[in-house]
């Protein structure tokens, strides 16, 4: 029989002992459960219908990725941005993915138009919906859901940009007008070209020099023969030289470029032959001064002061020396005709010269003087093109002002 004191001792031991089921701390279980709930509450749903294709109407090096937005992509939703992951093909399977870009929430496409893909190389893509929140400790944490992999896809260049069909139509129309008027000019039809006052005065200037028994000076600017203004100046020089030969007036052409000197000699020589006076031509009519800009200006000014020509032509490319030359010619009382496409120098020529060819008139003068069918047809066709553009501008201003029709869409890149 058990002693009552022994039973009492056993009971005390049981009451003071720790139960086996209390070995796991209740606080740690609560913390783990709370962390799982925080992640579930802030992880966004993934995107769907991910597709990747070569970007249209580009020069290659670009792939466009599209997707159906995450259901959580809404105001106050769980999506902050979409991250684009890309992997190169490794034996037909995708290799390691790495980030190539991202777009903010609300977008459903991405295009790497910076040309960071290699044409012909297959790529795989994933789109990751990302949410960024601050946890209880104040740390910024990120939760993401990746889409399925899509691919392979390669980039390639396109020959034709379909967004610029309006430019193609305009080019075809302009080309048609130019070719049409070239054919008309070759057939002998007289094309109306508005008079250019400066070119109408060429006869007057050379005739005045003939009457006074003085020289005609022709200054072809400081540009070389690779400059369009210098080329146009050579065409005008041919007309001036031909008139000078007919009137038996000496033409002096100081230059500052060796190639211009050679070209000008040939132009003047041919002009004398056309006029029937090859005997009047001399290589000394075209002479080289210096390549230095202001050294050339000083040399020409010295010739002006000593020779006192009756007529001076300034045709071609001019810079700061334009006013120095024009003012010196004006001071000796010469009739001066100038032409340049350098807009910064036009005010000086307008102020100091009798006639000035402004901008494009310098190039139009070539067709105006030569009457060559191709030049005339090109000039007439371009004038028609300009007239169409001006009419379109006028009509567009009226329609847009009264909000009648979005006429400006015809002149923008088509989406």
In this structure, the strands spanning 98-104 and 81-90 are: antiparallel
Mean pLDDT of the chain: 83
Residue pLDDT, tens place only, 222-279: 999 999 999 989 989 998 999 999 999 999 999 999 999 999 999 999 999 999 999 9
What pLDDT is stored for residue 30 in this prediction? 47
What percent of the chain stands above pLDDT 90?
A: 38
- The correct CATH number of 202-353 out of 3.40.50.150, 3.90.245.10, 3.40.50.970, 3.40.50.10190 is 3.40.50.150
For the entire predicted model, the pTM comes to: 0.61
Q: Which backbone phi and psi does 262 adopt, to 5 degrees?
A: -65, -45
The domain segmentation of the chain, as residue ranges, is 42-153, 202-353
pLDDT the model gives residue 415: 55
Q: What is the pLDDT of residue 111?
A: 84
Mean pLDDT of all residues in 39-49: 82
For residue 158, the model assigns a pLDDT of: 81
Choose between 270 and 157: higher pLDDT.
270
How far apart are alpha carbons 251 and 311 in whole angstroms?
10
What are the tens digits of pLDDT across the range 113-124? 666 788 888 889
pLDDT digits (tens, 9 = 90+) for 393-409: 888 888 878 877 766 66
Would you say 275 and 245 are in contact if contact means Cβ atoms under 8 Å apart?
Answer: yes
Per-residue three-class SS string for 212-276: HCCCEEEEEECCCCCCHHHHHHHHHHHHHHHHHHHHCCCEEEEECCHHHHHHHHHHHHHHHHHCC
Confidence of residue 410 (pLDDT cuts 50, 70, 90): low
Measured CA to CA, the distance from residue 254 to residue 71 in angstroms comes to 79
Q: pLDDT by residue (tens digit) across 16-37?
A: 444 433 334 444 444 445 556 7
Domain 42-153: top CATH class: mainly beta
Q: What is the pLDDT of residues 318-377, one digit of tens each?
A: 999 999 999 999 999 999 999 999 989 999 999 999 999 988 888 888 777 777 788 888
């Amino acid at each position: 029989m058990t002693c009552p004191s022994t039973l009492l001792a056993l009971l005390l031991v049981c009451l003071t002992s720790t139960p086996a089921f209390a070995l796991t701390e209740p606080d740690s279980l609560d913390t783990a459960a709370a962390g799982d709930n925080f992640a579930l509450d802030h992880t966004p749903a993934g995107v769907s219908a991910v597709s990747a294709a070569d970007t249209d109407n580009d020069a290659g090096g670009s792939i466009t990725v599209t997707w159906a937005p995450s259901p959580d992509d809404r105001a106050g939703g769980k999506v902050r941005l979409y991250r684009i992951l890309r992997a190169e093909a490794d034996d037909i399977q995708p290799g390691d993915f790495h980030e190539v870009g991202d777009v903010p929430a609300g977008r459903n496409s991405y295009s790497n138009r910076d040309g960071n893909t290699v044409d012909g190389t297959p790529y795989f893509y994933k789109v990751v919906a990302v949410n960024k929140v601050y946890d209880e400790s104040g740390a910024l944490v990120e939760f993401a859901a990746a889409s399925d992999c899509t691919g392979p896809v390669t980039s390639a260049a396109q020959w034709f940009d379909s967004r610029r069909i309006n430019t193609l139509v305009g080019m075809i129309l302009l080309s048609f007008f130019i070719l049409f008027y070239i054919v008309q000019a070759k057939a002998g039809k007289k094309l109306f070209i508005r008079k250019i006052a400066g070119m109408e005065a060429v006869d007057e200037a050379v005739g005045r020099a003939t009457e006074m028994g003085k020289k005609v000076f022709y200054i072809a600017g400081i540009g070389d023969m690779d400059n369009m203004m210098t080329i146009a100046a050579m065409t005008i020089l041919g007309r001036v030289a031909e008139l000078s030969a007919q009137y038996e007036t000496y033409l002096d052409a100081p230059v500052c470029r060796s190639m211009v000197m050679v070209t000008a000699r040939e132009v003047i020589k041919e002009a004398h032959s056309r006029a029937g006076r090859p005997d009047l031509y001399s290589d000394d009519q075209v002479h080289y001064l210096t390549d230095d800009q202001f050294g050339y200006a000083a040399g020409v000014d010295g010739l002006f002061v000593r020779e006192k020509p009756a007529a001076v032509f300034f045709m071609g490319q001019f810079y700061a020396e334009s006013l120095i030359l024009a003012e010196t010619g004006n001071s000796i009382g010469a009739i001066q005709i100038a032409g340049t496409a350098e807009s910064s120098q036009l005010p000086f020529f307008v102020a100091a010269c009798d006639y000035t060819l402004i901008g494009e008139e310098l190039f139009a003068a070539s067709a105006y003087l030569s009457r060559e069918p191709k030049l005339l047809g090109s000039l007439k066709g371009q004038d028609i093109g300009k007239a169409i553009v001006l009419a379109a501008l006028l009509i567009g201003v009226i329609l847009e002002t009264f909000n009648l029709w979005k006429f400006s869409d015809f002149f923008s890149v088509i989406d």
